[in-house]
Structure 1
């Protein structure tokens, strides 16, 4: 099944492997691609993968996580990314723009930069070890509206200016802003964006609606954090049961593809990533619900062999296989997979 063609809305993948997004810090101080950036993505284009997701593109000046990071919050930044997407357009490989607002997961140097405001849902720290030792401001309702619009504007730029030919993905996992809203560990708001699961999901749902309207008939994906469960610990915070409900609601809203990952836990529910496909239980639970809505699901994390990938597909665990760190560190990783 791995080498079968697969259609996502209006694009055809030559196989079911995704080059999953990985933060590189290979960009210049203005967020433009460098020779090192282009070398990495050229490697992805030649790796044999059927789809590539470009690392998180920031939608708002407050949403950065590092100094050297690509963005889509103005037309000039979007135009600079066309050099990167050209690599994939020429090879007819779909490349997806992953849209993000970082929030509490940042490098300390950002705190001293102009036009940056340190914000979060409730001013609370996250369980991530990379959390900076500084207080953030709880977002005002007007600022939330501004961020929702920023996602839609960035999505439009990604498609119309940067020319991403595979669509866009909304980043709602790994402890970034949207996943902080989803989690009761970091969202204790008492307004329409906090409390019940429906309220905690409101930001994500509103972003999906506005982005979908902005990009029209273009593939739309969400990378959803399925649980806050830390490796080796009992589930705490956002639960898989809650995320299954969120996933089905997203499916009803018309997303095309769900990427399953962790929330505040970032990586797996197990401590070993040596070909364990540690998110497979999450992926299976999600796919069982969204498949009836014709939404595809990818499983990424701890997949190290073609044999494991085939078993995941044949067992209806997922529809797509994401390969992240191995492919980023070794452009020849997929050579033995006979794609």
Structure 2
């Protein structure tokens, strides 16, 4: 029996397998509203057999967008535009998830599709950014340090976005605390130099994330809640896998169900050592150390490799990104490569199953 193609229960839901689509920004929204591109992009992965299709980093406020072209859930028009996309994912048998995010000091940047780099000027549609401390990401505009009222507002923005996500039909909610965005900025001592209750010792640096987990759980009592962590800053003196493990356990106590383990993104001087499956060890550390379920991600590109991650006990599921872009039917192909019979091949594609 393939572990990769065994179902996984998630707070009253069941993912039909453990090969999932990681959130991947498309930089193709208009005023935070997803477009036809998002519909086709996400629905195809569900047709391709994914267990969960996780929509991209979706801003909880206009100021929280990575770029002017990011999707959002800060108003009802965005919620209503997501609804048919979510319906298409679910109709094809996958669970529909969304990553709720605030970019902090990495907001108001040019989309990589634009051909520009750095912060978007105000006269070109940019906006002031915020962070735990007034420390700029290298090459970006300096942010404003958040006061406690601004922090409280962000907590409520996450809760409101969670409610809209559920109203749109999303079944799984992921809180983005990775890749150098706002919640990661609070967690890491490289970006958080605060001297109040949100800075300094680990419990204080984790306070904002834990408050958000609690409020999202209140706003979406029945939904599986994921947290995505960067388990290492890949920089001296930064956030590391031991702190990730500790905070994951605290988040689980407050209502988080599952942890999506990535790495990096906080500082430009990071030194990432990449190789196939290079982040799997981080996932394994968190899984064993915190006693929580996790997904592994990062250069996992074929069925045997993904199966090995699970059989080794290093993770409970595998997230993939680029491989799904190369092959939107990655799960169907993986099942064939592993010799697994699944009952969710689209009937229209059955003629290709034996190839």
Normalised TM-score (structure 1): 0.90
CA distance in 2: counterparts of 1:258 and 1:104, whole angstroms = 24
Partner in structure 1 of residue 174 of structure 2:
169
The 3 A distance-change label for structure 1 pair 288 and 250 is: same
1:188 to 177, 188, 193: 193
The aligned residue for residue 139 of structure 1 is: 146
CA contact (8 A) 2:45 2:329 kept: no
1:309 alignment partner in structure 2: 306
The 3 A distance-change label for structure 1 pair 215 and 75 is same
TM-aligned CA distance change 1:112 to 1:171, over 3 Å: farther
1:188 and 1:287 mapped to 2: Cα distance? 29
Per-residue CA deviations over 1:154-187 (Å, capped at 9, x if unaligned) read 0011002x111x2211000000000000001000
Correspondence 1:318 to 2:315: yes
Q: Cα gap change, 1:221/1:313 in structure 2, threshold over 3 Å: closer, same or farther? A: same
| Residue 195 of structure 1, CA deviation | 0.6
1:117 equivalenced with 2:128 (yes/no): yes
Deviation at 1:288, TM superposition (A): 0.4
The 8 Å contact of residues 22 and 328 in structure 1, kept in 2 or not, is answered as no
| CA displacement 1:124-178 (0-9 Å, x = unmatched) | 123xxxx543221100110000000000010011002x111x2211000000000
Encode CA deviations 1:235-271: one digit per residue, 9 max, x unaligned.
5311211111111111222211110011436999753
Q: Which residue of structure 2 lines up, in the alignment, with residue 330 of structure 1?
A: 327
Change in Cα spacing, 1:307 to 1:115, as seen in structure 2 (3 Å) is closer
1:306 CA drift (Å):
1.1
User: What's the counterpart of residue 10 of structure 2?
Assistant: 8
RMSD of the alignment, in Å?
2.1
Structure with the greater alpha carbon radius of gyration: 2
In structure 2, stretches of 5+ residues that fail to align are: 110-118, 336-341, 343-355
Decide whether aligned partners of structure 1 residues 147 and 112 sit closer, same or farther in structure 2, where only a CA change above 3 A counts.
farther
Change (3 A) 1:286 1:156: same
- Match of 2:186, SS state, is helix
Who is 1:85 aligned against? 86
